[in-house]
Structure 1
Amino acid sequence: MLIKDVCKKCKLTKKAVEYYEQQGLISPAVEDNGYRNYSDEDISVLKEIGTLRKLGISIADIKNILASTNKAAALAKCKYKMDLEVEKAMAKKKCLEQLMDDYNIDQAITYIEENIEKHFTIKEKLLQAFPGGYGMYLCIHFGQFLNGKIDTEEKEEAYNKIVDYLDTVSKIEFPKELEEYLLQGLGQLEKIDMQRINSSIINAVNNIDIYLKENKEDIGKYLEYRNSDEYKKSPACKMQQLLLQFQQESGYYDIFIENLKILSDSYREYLEKLQVANKTFVDKYPQIDNIYKL
């Protein structure tokens, strides 16, 4: 079945079907003429995906559900997450109602500490600790690894070290034009679908040889642009230089990264794979080293 008919049958847009294929959720046969031929199994999976997405289930969780031999158990994990979100939302609602009746901030602080903060993910805690451009930088670059919670004393200690470090180190002072640039960039990322970008990065790291082979032309253009006068005069270049200077002059790697590895198991695993991928990349494109030097 061709994609036009699939869209009607599954009540999905063409972009949605293509996206689910990119995420590896379906694998339609490709005919000699280049058209995709979707099987009955593909259609069944797409209907399943569409249903789960309408229930607010993430792509990552859907992958686990599709691969699971016990659908009920996989769905139970998703329900548990939703229950926690509902509990957090109800606690926030109750706190708002208390503030409406008696605008007692001290009482609200106590209530939040006892009933709401325990539900916060690491990302939520960091965004509240560091509002503005600095928090957005953390979210964009590390948010995908910070969806867990602080559930051990070791992680609590690592989190506190990260917060103390970020709060006392000579932080980057974002010029107004770069702050606006970052804000605009974050908005664009949300529209594109942050999850898709994060998945693409992880897939590239996990399959670096395939990525380099399939994107040889684009990588060449990217390296050429990064060495151009146009890039060197751009706000993006200014931001990159500020970030590189910050990392080189502070304890970014010794304190922030080392404790982030303790705080997030997924980040630690990703970093190990990233180091291997970086070595492969530099071996093939040694000129990349010059790009990241001040």
Structure 2
Amino acid sequence: MKIHEVSKLIDMTESNIRHYEKSGLIKPKREANNYRSYSEEDVKILKQIILMRMVGTPLKEIEDVFNSNVSLNDMLHTRIEELEEDQIELDKKKNICNMLIDKNASFDDTEEILQDQLYTDATSYAEILEKIRKQDTFKQRSYKILGSIGLGVMLLLCAYYAMTWYISYLNYATSPWLGIVVFIIAIGMILNIIYQVYKNEKGKE
């Protein structure tokens, strides 16, 4: 079968199928024209992947099951434990929402409600604050690192075009080593910027 046929058969996007192939979960054969040919076994494996992804199993754990590093039974028990932990977290959030509704709360009552939550379950309150802190700082750090990469790329392009223009202006032959040297310098600058941003953000924690 061709990839578009498999996609329609199991209602999975072609990009997902290719992703699972890159992950090594399926290994379709190649025909003489180099097109992928998916067997019934490949389709069966894709359906198994869908089933395990439906319960939130990460691809790494699916690979472990397929490679017999972990039994399916053990993996499912692990997922149940993780889902139970997730359910506890969801129940806590649901209880806070219900508490706000029961009290007919407004933002004017924020301080009182937080104090009630703190005294009712101090450990849970501390855990929630820690999780919020990690989530927010991770997002901020990611944005800054991406911004640093963008700045580094701009510096790379500016340096490269400036040097090539300078050589062209002096009527010298452009050396291939020039591009390599500029590239290495720019990569060093990018890595240094990213490191400085990461170190700065790490120091704030």
Question: What is the TM-score when the length of structure 1 is the normalising length?
Answer: 0.45
User: Is the 8 Å Cα contact of residues 117 and 125 (structure 2) preserved in structure 1?
Assistant: no
- The offset of 1:19, in angstroms, is 1.2
Which residue matches 1:229?
A: 158
Q: 1:126 aligns with which of 130, 134, 144?
A: 134
> Alpha-carbon deviation of 1:106?
0.2
Q: What are the superposed Cα offsets for residues 213-254 of structure 1, whole Å, 9 maximum, x if unpaired?
A: xxxxxxxxxx9986320799xxxx998765444568x696xx
Gaps of at least 5 residues in structure 2 are: 104-108, 162-186
Partner Cα distance (2:85, 2:157) in 1: 49
Q: Shift in Å at residue 51 of structure 1?
A: 1.9
User: What is aligned with 1:98?
Assistant: 99
Three-state SS of the structure 2 residue aligned to 1:227 is: helix
* Preserved contact between residue 153 and residue 190 of structure 2 (Cα < 8 Å): no
CA contact (8 A) 2:25 2:63 kept: yes
Question: Between the two proteins, what is the percent identity of the paired residues?
Answer: 21
Of 139, 145, 154, 1:136 maps to 139
Corresponding position of 1:288: none
Cα RMSD, aligned residues only: 4.2
Q: Which residue of 2 aligns with 1:83?
A: 84
Greater relative contact order (Cα < 8 A, sep 6+): 1
- CA distance in 2 between partners of 1:116 and 1:224 (Å): 42
1:49-83: per-residue Cα shift (whole Å, max 9, x none)?
11222333322232233334621111111111111
Counterpart of 1:108?
117
Alpha-carbon offset, residue 99 of structure 1: 2.7
1: CA distance, partners of 2:67 / 2:125: 33
CA distance in 2, matches of 1:239, 1:100: 50
Q: Structure 2: which amino acid aligns with 1:229?
A: C
Summarize the alignment of residues 120-269 of structure 1 with structure 2, pairs less than 5 Å apart: 125-128=133-136, 130=137, 135-138=138-141, 140=142, 227-229=156-158, 242-246=193-197
Distance 1:35 1:245, change over 3 A: same
C-alpha distance in 2 between matches for 1:239 and 1:111: 48
Q: CA deviation digits over 1:118-152, x for unaligned, max 9?
A: 589x8654125x4xxxx3144x49xxxxxxxxxxx
CA contact under 8 A between 1:88 and 1:119: conserved in structure 2? no
Asked whether the 8 Å contact 2:29–2:38 carries over to 1, the reply is yes
State whether residues 92 and 116 of structure 1, in contact with CA within 8 Å, keep that contact through their aligned partners in structure 2: no
Q: What is the rounded CA distance, in whole Å, between the counterparts of 2:160 and 2:121 in structure 1?
A: 46
Question: How many pairs does the alignment contain?
Answer: 167
Asked which structure has the greater CA Rg, the reply is 2
**1:169-206 Cα distance to aligned partner (Å, 9 max, x none):** xxxxx7xxx9xx75xx9xxxxxxxxxxxxxxxxxxxxx
Structure 1 unmatched ranges of 5 or more: 142-173, 186-222, 257-294
Which structure 2 residues correspond to residues 20-99 of structure 1 after superposition, within 5 A? 20-68=20-68, 70-99=71-100
Instruction: Give the 3 Å change call, closer, same or farther, for CA 112–225 of structure 1 in structure 2.
Output: same
Structure 2 vs 1, CA of residues 82 and 116 (structure 1 numbering), >3 Å: closer, same or farther?
farther
Check whether the contact 1:61–1:78 (CA below 8 A) recurs between aligned residues.
no
Query: Are the equivalent residues in 2 in contact too, given 1:2–1:36 (CA < 8 A)?
Result: yes
Shift of 1:88: 0.6
